[in-house]
Amino acid sequence: MNHARPALLPHTGGCISVPFLGRSRDFPILPMASLQGDVAFITGAASGFGLALTKELVSKGAKVIMIDINDCEREVSELNSKAGKIVAIAQRADTTSWEQQYAAYEAGKKIFGRIDYFFANAGIAEHPWLPNFNPSTARDRSIIKPDIVTLSINLIGQLYTAALALQVFERQTQNRHGFKGKLLMTASVYGFFPSAIMAMYASSKAAIFNYTRSTALIYAGKGITVNAIAPSMARKKF
């Protein structure tokens, strides 16, 4: 069975049959080619998907600039002591701040040089943007300014990462895999479907999808790929 070359990482081929929606379906296995010497910039790297991805990339020979609003020094020292060399560095940054992300990029570049992959992954679940609907108390409450932190982190923070990635890639030559750079956004299945409890979250993820579709077209044929993933519910610890 032939499969198109996956857009995210260099591919070595193969497929696997797994149960999917009650049927056995063939899915491509995406074993990563050696990533020796490749460098990734991952936001939200202190836990969950970002940390799991960091460990996987390091195990394939890549180096990772781990960005998080929280500390990831412990994870960094574990990875570096296991490898016996510097394979990861931690940069504290709030992704909703362009200045902090840019400073994190500059620090990473000084240590590792070119960056092949940017993962715009940091995100949060729904933070209530309005008080709960309750007509019986509403008249006693003032009308408030909505809290849009969910949009700020899940959309603006990820777009800042994308803006950084695309400008960095534009300035790079092709690497040994034949590309200038790859950008991956973490969206969600709620980018496709409405949610009765997470309107801001679903809006932010839907926006990421259309941003990705549009930007992938703009950069097509330029050695730069832009993709998004749509996880459903996943455990936080891997």
Q: Which of 17, 36, 70, 77 binds ligand NAD (CB under 6 A)?
A: 70
For residue 46, state whether it binds ligand NAD (rule: CB under 6 A): yes
Among 9, 35, 40, 44, binds ligand NAD (CB under 6 A): 44
Helix, strand, coil distribution of the chain in percent, nearest 5:
35, 20, 45
**Total binding residues toward ligand NAD, as defined by CB under 6 A:** 25
* CA pair distance 41, 101, nearest whole angstrom: 10
Q: How far apart are the first and last CA of the chain?
A: 31
Q: Does 212 bind ligand NAD (CB under 6 A)?
A: no
Cα 14 from Cα 147, distance rounded (Å): 46
Query: H helices within the chain, ranges in order?
Result: 48-59, 73-83, 98-112, 135-138, 149-151, 158-170, 199-219
3-class secondary-structure state, position 232: coil
For residue 142 the two structure tokens come to 């003032």
Among residues 3, 53, 10, the alpha carbon closest in space to that of 28 is found at 3
Tell me how far apart the alpha carbons of residues 36 and 103 are, in angstroms, rounded to a whole number.
25
Residue 3 or 98 with smaller CB distance to ligand NAD: 98
Q: Which one of 30-38, 53-61, 127-135, 226-234 is the stretch in contact with ligand NAD (CB under 6 A)?
A: 226-234
Q: Is residue 191 a contact point for ligand NAD (CB under 6 A)?
A: no
When binding is defined by CB under 6 A, the residue of 4, 143, 144, 233 that contacts ligand NAD is 233
Pick from 32, 79, 87, 123 the residue near ligand NAD by CB under 6 A.
123
Task: Please give the Cα distance from 43 to 101 (Å, whole number).
Answer: 9
Residue 95 sits in the site that holds ligand NAD (CB under 6 A):
yes
Q: What's the closest the beta carbon of residue 150 comes to ligand NAD, in angstroms? A: 9
Residues 152-171 that bind ligand NAD (CB under 6 A): 153, 157
Assess contact for 66 and 37: CB atoms under 8 A.
Answer: no
Tokens of 213: 């579709």
Q: Which of 40, 53, 58, 122 binds ligand NAD (CB under 6 A)?
A: 122
Q: How far is the CB of 185 from ligand NAD (least distance, A)?
A: 9
- Under the criterion CB under 6 A, does residue 121 sit at the interface with ligand NAD? yes
Q: Is 108 in the site for ligand NAD (CB under 6 A)?
A: no
Chain residues binding ligand NAD by CB under 6 A are 43-44, 46-50, 68-70, 94-96, 121-124, 153, 157, 186, 188, 231, 233-234, 236
